[in-house]
């Protein structure tokens, strides 16, 4: 098949004539993934209204940090202790935003000044997660960017930025990053934990949303940030976040947070002024279901991987077939998480998204992986293959590849 402009335009018209209607923009589980947790809908009954540790699940008392059984379970996920773990309601993003809001109002640690200086800055990695950017922007943080590398955040850049006293920390995804799939190396964990910072409030907000989301036995597991900070003499530097949004139900799971005991005492005190406690019945339902799942959480995640791996393989196969060797794009081959990140060689990401939309394929908006939706290279595209059926992933990827070819040929024709 020739790839000159007029031939690509013909192929594109043929694509449009198919009348596709595909959505590969958001990282959501598929219904088969949710089905793995349907047992959770019926696993509790009237016999379960008191937890094994003796907490009445229907009444208020029980504490802000969650029931003991849930704290134990999610401490295992974060590889920390139960009394360093808070389990909340659904959404780790909500826990992140509560943490930041309290830090802005009162300081994160006892005696710390509120983080409301002007300017106030939070380092972010790019390409990164759009909702981090939206949240930080809403809270008035400037967002100096550092590249996400295959070893995690570019630490030379982070260390340089941390010398600015208006920088309050870094938000990033340590494991199978959204969207690149990269995991922070042990060396970078140690550097982040120990580096000098001009602002004593500097906090590592590590959103470990994909910590247990391996796609195969080639597991990438970051070394322990909380223990590394402790060892470096900065025990209160890190807040870890996670959730079961891609484990059980995306909209009806549990969020959790891990940090030093001192930080946790402070956060539970502040959050305790907001509400009496999280939904304990939901927490117990999760614990009961996940502990009883064959081989526990590990078993459930392996079952998710069986459903998800073929979709990621399909992305790789179609992109290799259609774009391999063309020099028009490069893309990631993630070992876990929820996304593939593709960079076009030419600055055509917006054009690719527009062409795909016209052909009935909805992609994540170009620029979404950068603060303020401003991708300086106009090159990054986030591919989210988890929710659509595999045939749709294949069709969508072939359409995407054609749009990359056409947009690049248009660009070359215009720029000579």
Strand arrangement of the beta sheet that strand 145-149 belongs to: 85-87, 255-259, 238-243, 203-207, 167-172, 121-126, 145-149, 152-153
For ligand PLP, which is the closer residue by CB, 255 or 388? 255
**Is residue 255 near ligand PLP by the rule CB under 6 A?**
yes
Q: Which residue stretch of 4-12, 91-99, 149-157, 304-312 sits at the interface with ligand PLP (rule: CB under 6 A)? A: 91-99
By CB atoms closer than 10 A (0-12, 13-18, 19+), residue 275 is exposed
**Is residue 197 near ligand PLP by the rule CB under 6 A?**
no
Tell me how crowded residue 159 is: count the other CB atoms within 10 A of its CB: 15
Backbone angles phi, psi at 169, to 5 degrees: 155, -160
For ligand PLP, which is the closer residue by CB, 203 or 234? 203
For ligand PLP, which is the closer residue by CB, 144 or 255? 255
Residue among 93, 212, 308, 368 that touches ligand PLP (CB under 6 A): 93
**Which positions ≥6 away from 78 have C-beta within 8 Å?**
85, 208, 211, 226, 240, 242, 256, 258
Residues 344-363 that bind ligand PLP (CB under 6 A): none
Q: Where are the alpha helices (DSSP H) in 120-165?
A: 130-138, 155-161
Q: Does an H or E element contain 123, and which?
A: strand 121-126
Minimum Å distance from CB 319 to ligand PLP? 21
Residues 25-54 that bind ligand PLP (CB under 6 A): 27
Q: Residue 367 and residue 163: Cα distance in Å, rounded?
A: 28
Beta 145-149 vs 121-126: how paired, if at all? parallel
Q: Residue 385 and residue 61: Cα distance in Å, rounded?
A: 42
Q: Which residue stretch of 1-9, 34-42, 87-95, 344-352 sits at the interface with ligand PLP (rule: CB under 6 A)? A: 87-95
Q: Is 300:208 a contact under the CB 8 Å cutoff?
A: no
**What is the DSSP secondary-structure string of 48-97?**
GSB-TTS-BSSSS-S-TT--HHHHHHHHHHHTS-GGGEEE-SS-HHHHHH
Minimum Å distance from CB 337 to ligand PLP? 8
Minimum Å distance from CB 394 to ligand PLP? 23
For ligand PLP, which is the closer residue by CB, 245 or 332? 245
Residue among 77, 184, 204, 209 that touches ligand PLP (CB under 6 A): 209
For ligand PLP, which is the closer residue by CB, 322 or 371? 371
Residue, CB closest to ligand PLP: 243
Residue among 72, 98, 207, 303 that touches ligand PLP (CB under 6 A): 207
**What is the DSSP secondary-structure string of 367-415?**
TTTSGGG--TTS-EEEE--SSS-HHHHHHHHHHHHHHHHHHHHHHHHHH
| Alpha-carbon dihedral angle through residues 163, 191, 106, 102, given to the nearest 10 degrees | 120
For ligand PLP, which is the closer residue by CB, 92 or 408? 92
Minimum Å distance from CB 416 to ligand PLP? 40
For ligand PLP, which is the closer residue by CB, 28 or 224? 28
Q: Is 245:386 a contact under the CB 8 Å cutoff?
A: no
Q: Which residue stretch of 63-71, 85-93, 262-270, 396-404 sits at the interface with ligand PLP (rule: CB under 6 A)? A: 85-93
Q: Is 78:209 a contact under the CB 8 Å cutoff?
A: no
**Is residue 369 near ligand PLP by the rule CB under 6 A?**
no
For ligand PLP, which is the closer residue by CB, 234 or 380? 380
For ligand PLP, which is the closer residue by CB, 188 or 245? 245
**Is residue 243 near ligand PLP by the rule CB under 6 A?**
yes
Q: Residue 315 and residue 305: Cα distance in Å, rounded?
A: 15
Residues 282-341 that bind ligand PLP (CB under 6 A): none
Q: Residue 376 and residue 147: Cα distance in Å, rounded?
A: 12
Residue among 25, 89, 92, 234 that touches ligand PLP (CB under 6 A): 92
**Is residue 129 near ligand PLP by the rule CB under 6 A?**
yes
Q: How many chain residues touch ligand PLP (CB under 6 A)?
A: 12
For ligand PLP, which is the closer residue by CB, 153 or 255? 255
SS3 112: coil
Interface residue list for ligand PLP (CB under 6 A): 27, 91-93, 129, 173, 178, 207, 209, 243, 245, 255
């Amino acid at each position: 098949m020739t790839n000159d402009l007029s031939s690509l335009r013909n192929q594109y018209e043929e694509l449009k004539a198919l009348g596709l209607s595909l959505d590969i923009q958001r990282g959501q589980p598929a219904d088969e993934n949710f089905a793995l947790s349907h047992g959770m809908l019926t696993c509790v009954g009237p016999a379960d209204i008191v937890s094994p540790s003796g907490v009445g699940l229907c009444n208020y008392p029980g504490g802000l940090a969650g029931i003991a059984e849930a704290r134990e379970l999610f401490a295992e996920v974060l590889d920390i202790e139960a009394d360093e773990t808070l389990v909340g309601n659904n959404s780790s993003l909500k826990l992140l935003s509560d943490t930041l809001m309290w830090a802005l109002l009162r300081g994160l640690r006892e005696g710390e000044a509120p983080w409301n200086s002007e300017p106030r800055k939070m380092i972010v990695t790019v390409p990164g997660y759009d909702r981090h950017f939206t949240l930080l922007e809403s809270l008035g943080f400037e967002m100096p960017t550092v590249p996400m590398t295959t070893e995690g955040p570019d630490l030379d850049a982070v260390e340089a930025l941390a010398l600015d006293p208006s920088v309050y920390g870094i938000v990033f995804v340590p494991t199978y990053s959204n969207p690149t799939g990269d995991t922070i190396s042990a060396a970078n964990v140690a550097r982040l934990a120990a580096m000098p910072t001009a602002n004593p409030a500097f906090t590592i907000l590590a959103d470990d949303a994909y910590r247990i989301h391996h796609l195969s036995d080639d597991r990438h597991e970051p070394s322990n940030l909380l223990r590394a900070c402790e060892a470096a003499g900065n025990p209160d530097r890190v807040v870890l976040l996670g959730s079961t949004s891609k484990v059980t139900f995306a909209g009806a799971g549990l969020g959790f947070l891990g940090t030093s005991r001192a930080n946790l005492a402070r956060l539970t005190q502040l959050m305790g002024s907001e509400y009496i406690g999280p939904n304990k019945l939901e927490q117990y339902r999760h614990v009961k279901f996940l502990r009883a799942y064959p081989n526990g959480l590990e078993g459930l995640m392996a079952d998710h991987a069986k459903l998800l791996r073929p979709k990621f393989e399909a992305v790789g196969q179609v992109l290799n077939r259609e774009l391999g060797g063309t020099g028009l794009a490069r893309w990631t081959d993630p070992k876990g998480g929820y996304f593939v990140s593709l960079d076009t060689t030419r600055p055509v990401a917006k054009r690719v998204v527009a062409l795909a939309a016209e052909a009935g394929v909805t992609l994540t908006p170009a620029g979404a992986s950068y603060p303020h939706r401003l991708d300086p290279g106009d090159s990054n595209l986030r591919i989210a293959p988890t929710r659509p059926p595999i045939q749709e992933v294949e069709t969508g990827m072939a359409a995407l590849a054609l749009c990359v070819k056409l947009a690049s040929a248009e660009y070359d024709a215009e720029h000579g």
